[in-house]
């Protein structure tokens, strides 16, 4: 009995060390906190009450925005929030702010950005690489692929901004 208890405690301690080292490894690899993600298919634009849109286009505050990149110039991406609009004949689709609404941001894309694609890394976007559980991209692709793909057309994604830079883009799969 005493040996079983020791084995159980040793196993628990080893699991705790592995869990904390995993968290430390994640923190070291990302170098930013785990921000709370918005609902993937939320039906309203995420508010940003601290952002002053009258002062020109600039970076969003730290956190995760459900949005899409509308333009990429050099290393700076312009992006805007999106929301899910339910359809009458289909499940629905994502929409951006109405024409003339100044809800846009611009941030440099970090050199070590984490890009998780829902459509694979090839330019044809033929391979689905999406988590069945979350509907979010799971295939790690290069920064160049991110810039090329999202610079051409707006694709829905969860965009993580930390200290004024885009550090993670995770595509949202839409059929």
Residue 32 has a pLDDT of 81
Pick the range with the lowest mean pLDDT from 6-10, 108-112, 151-155. Answer: 6-10
- Which 8-state DSSP code applies to residue 54? G
Q: Give, in order, the Cα–Cα distances in Å from 152 to each of 121, 146, 158, 173.
A: 15, 10, 18, 17
Query: Which strand (E) or helix (H) includes residue 29?
Result: helix 2-30
pTM attached to this predicted model: 0.79
**Is 31 a member of any domain?**
no
In a domain, 81, yes or no: yes
SS3 113: strand
Q: How many other CB atoms are found less than 10 A from the CB of residue 71?
A: 13
The band of 31, judged by pLDDT with boundaries at 50, 70 and 90, is confident
Residue 116 has pLDDT above 60, yes or no: yes
Residue 126 is predicted with a pLDDT of 67
Q: Quote the percentage of the chain above a pLDDT of 70.
A: 81
Distance CA 122, CA 30 (A): 25
| pLDDT at residue 5, rounded to an integer | 38
Q: What is each CA distance from 166 to 19, 98, 141, in whole angstroms?
A: 27, 24, 15
Residue span of the structural domain in which 158 resides: 56-171
State mean pLDDT over 58-86.
94
**Residue 78 has which token pair?**
């312009």
* Ramachandran sector of residue 60 (left: φ over 0; alpha: ψ -120 to 50; beta: rest): beta
Is 70 exceeded by the pLDDT of residue 119?
yes
Residue 70 above 90 pLDDT? yes
Query: What is the pairing mode between strands 83-86 and 105-117?
Result: unpaired
Over residues 123-141, the pLDDT tens digits come to: 666 678 888 888 899 999 9
Residue 22 belongs to a domain:
no
Whether 50 maps to a domain, the answer reads no
In a domain, 166, yes or no: yes
Q: Is residue 7 part of a domain?
A: no
The pair of three-digit structure tokens given for residue 138, joined into one six-digit string: 């799971």
Q: Which of 136, 135, 141, 143 is CA-nearest to residue 166?
A: 143
Section 13-41 average pLDDT = 59
Q: Is residue 137 situated within a structural domain?
A: yes
Q: Is residue 21 part of a domain?
A: no
Let me know if 34 is exposed, middle or buried by CB neighbors in 10 A (0-12, 13-18, 19+). Answer: exposed
**Total tally of structural domains belonging to the chain:** 1
Calculate mean pLDDT across residues 9-22.
37
Average pLDDT, the chain: 82
Q: In this predicted model, what pLDDT tens digit does every residue of 162-174 receive, in sequence order?
A: 999 999 999 999 8
Most confident of 5-19, 45-59, 80-94, 111-125: 80-94
Q: What is the dihedral of CA 40, 60, 114, 39, to 10 degrees?
A: -10
């Amino acid at each position: 009995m005493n040996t079983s208890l020791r084995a159980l405690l040793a196993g628990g301690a080893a699991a705790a060390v592995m869990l904390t080292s995993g968290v430390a490894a994640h923190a070291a690899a990302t170098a930013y906190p785990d921000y709370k993600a918005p609902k993937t298919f939320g039906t309203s634009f995420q508010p940003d009450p601290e952002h002053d849109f009258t002062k020109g286009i600039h970076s969003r505050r730290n956190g995760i925005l459900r949005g899409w990149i509308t333009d990429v110039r050099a290393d700076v991406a312009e992006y805007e929030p999106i929301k899910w609009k339910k359809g009458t004949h289909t499940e629905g689709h994502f929409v951006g702010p109405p024409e003339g609404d100044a809800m846009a941001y611009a941030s440099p894309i970090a050199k070590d950005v984490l890009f998780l694609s829902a459509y694979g890394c090839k330019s044809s976007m033929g391979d689905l690489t999406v988590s069945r559980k979350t509907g979010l991209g799971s295939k790690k692709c290069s920064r160049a692929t991110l810039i090329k793909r999202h610079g051409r057309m707006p694709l829905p994604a969860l965009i993580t901004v930390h200290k004024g830079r885009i550090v993670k883009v995770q595509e949202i799969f839409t059929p």
